[in-house]
Amino acid sequence: MSDPSPLAPGAIVGIIGGGQLGRMLAMAAARLGLRTIVLDPAAECPASQICNGHIVADYDNITALDELAQRCDVVTYEFENVPVRGVERLVGRVPVHPGTQPLEVAQDRLAEKDFLTAHGLVTAPYAVVDSQDAISGALEAVGGTGILKTRRLGYDGKGQMRITADGIPVDAFAQLGAVPLIVEGLVDFEYEISVIAGRGVDGSMTSFEPSRNEHRDGILAASTVPSGASDAVIAEARRLAALLLESLDYVGVLGLELFVMADGSLLANEFAPRVHNSGHWTEAACSPSQFEQHIRAVAGHQLADPVRHVDATMVNLIGDDVDDLAAFHADPRATIHLYGKSDTRPGRKMGHVTTVTPR
């Protein structure tokens, strides 16, 4: 279905997924005068406290998807594991941005690596692993030390195992669920950055300055701008993000994670077809934020080239980090953002804080 003219205030954006990303998208939409309807099976999902309507149903529930298509002017999604056939149900009835192809590519690490390399981005060496017996040959092919990863449904370091040629557990394949895997060569990177980039319905593209990202236990812990990367690395990172946006004929914002090597070259780790945790600093440091940029894109509005007003560090509040906010409350440079989750669990993202300083 072709896009109508830019959505006017009062129009309705459907969001598949009601986690914190859906919640922050709904907040950005509200600021632009747009309404939101979220589809999420959890009655108490974070976005339910913010959006104008909430359809409580599974992502592949046909009746719910039909209702979403019927009530919304455009539909987007906030996470990459939405069933593709659910989104296909919407196509042709309501504009869906980004469409099904970015989902198909991002849902499978093999399809993702194949797509990235076919379109001019360099990745870590990788090989398919479909059985325990295949591990040692595949590991040798990628350099002898690597990370086994489930092809599907891995996130925040879950579904991953580091292995070396002389230390492959006899039950490694079973430990990862006996599901299709890839093995990636271990990359000896200097540091990690990501680029949040957006593309409008008119094909115009913009990107935020890359942030430098630190992970702890496989989960993003902090993102900082400026990243300390050279101008050449920053320009190359932005070029790669633009290449990816064009290759996917993408509308909306995506996050591209990159490894920076000692010689300044960049390897693509993965991309997320959505707003990204490493772009949360943009809400406190930029106009527009990544959330507004995404809503603008899917609503058919013009994108703005983002301006960063301040230096910023975003830290995630993970698990019981959220119980100790006194120091942040006392800091006028800190913007606290909690996600409205009632259960605190270890490893669960409960909120984030962005601390800014004048440039």
Q: Which of residues 188-207 bind ligand AMP (CB under 6 A)?
A: 192
Please state the closest distance from residue 269 (CB atom) to ligand AMP, in A: 5
Q: Which of residues 148-167 bind ligand AMP (CB under 6 A)?
A: 154, 157
Range in contact with ligand AMP (rule: CB under 6 A) among 20-28, 164-172, 183-191, 241-249: 183-191
* 224 binds ligand AMP, rule: CB under 6 A: no
Instruction: Determine contact, residues 141/154, Cβ cutoff 8 Å.
Output: no
Which residue in 289, 354, 273, 299 sits closest to 77, CA to CA? 273
Residues in Cβ contact with 96 at an 8 Å cutoff, skipping those fewer than 6 apart:
74, 75, 76, 87, 90
Range in contact with ligand AMP (rule: CB under 6 A) among 133-141, 165-173, 182-190, 277-285: 182-190
SS3 at position 255: strand
Please state the closest distance from residue 287 (CB atom) to ligand AMP, in A: 28
Please state the closest distance from residue 194 (CB atom) to ligand AMP, in A: 9
Tokens linked to 358: 């004048």
State the Cα–Cα distance between residues 45 and 53, nearest whole angstrom.
12
Please state the closest distance from residue 270 (CB atom) to ligand AMP, in A: 5
* 184 binds ligand AMP, rule: CB under 6 A: yes
Antiparallel, parallel or unpaired: β 349-358 and 310-318: antiparallel
Please state the closest distance from residue 116 (CB atom) to ligand AMP, in A: 13
Range in contact with ligand AMP (rule: CB under 6 A) among 90-98, 186-194, 196-204, 286-294: 186-194
Residues in Cβ contact with 118 at an 8 Å cutoff, skipping those fewer than 6 apart:
none
Please state the closest distance from residue 55 (CB atom) to ligand AMP, in A: 30
Instruction: Determine contact, residues 123/151, Cβ cutoff 8 Å.
Output: no
- How many residues of this chain interact with ligand AMP, rule: CB under 6 A? 13
Q: Which of residues 231-290 bind ligand AMP (CB under 6 A)?
A: 257, 269-270
Q: Which of 31, 85, 215, 329 binds ligand AMP (CB under 6 A)?
A: 215
Which contiguous run of DSSP H or E holds residue 306?
none
Q: Which of 7, 50, 103, 124 binds ligand AMP (CB under 6 A)?
A: 124
* 186 binds ligand AMP, rule: CB under 6 A: yes
Please state the closest distance from residue 98 (CB atom) to ligand AMP, in A: 19
The arrangement of strands across the sheet holding 160-164 comes to: 126-129, 181-185, 145-150, 160-164
By C-beta, is 237 or 297 nearer to ligand AMP? 237
Instruction: Determine contact, residues 263/176, Cβ cutoff 8 Å.
Output: no
CB closest to ligand AMP, residue no: 187
177: left (phi over 0), alpha (psi -120 to 50) or beta: left
How many other CB atoms are found less than 10 A from the CB of residue 75?
A: 25
Long-range contacts of range 214-217, CB-CB < 8 Å, 24 or more positions apart? 215/157, 217/157, 217/347
Please state the closest distance from residue 266 (CB atom) to ligand AMP, in A: 14
Q: Which of 6, 120, 177, 218 binds ligand AMP (CB under 6 A)?
A: 218
By C-beta, is 144 or 157 nearer to ligand AMP? 157
Q: Which of 12, 147, 148, 275 binds ligand AMP (CB under 6 A)?
A: 147
By C-beta, is 36 or 213 nearer to ligand AMP? 213
Strand partners, 147: 162, 184
Residue with tokens 């907040």: 27
Exposed / middle / buried, residue 211 (Cβ in 10 Å: 0-12, 13-18, 19+): buried
Q: Percent helix, strand and coil across the chain, each rounded to 5?
A: 30, 30, 40
Please state the closest distance from residue 44 (CB atom) to ligand AMP, in A: 27
Binding site for ligand AMP (CB under 6 A): 124, 147, 154, 157, 184, 186-187, 192, 215, 218, 257, 269-270
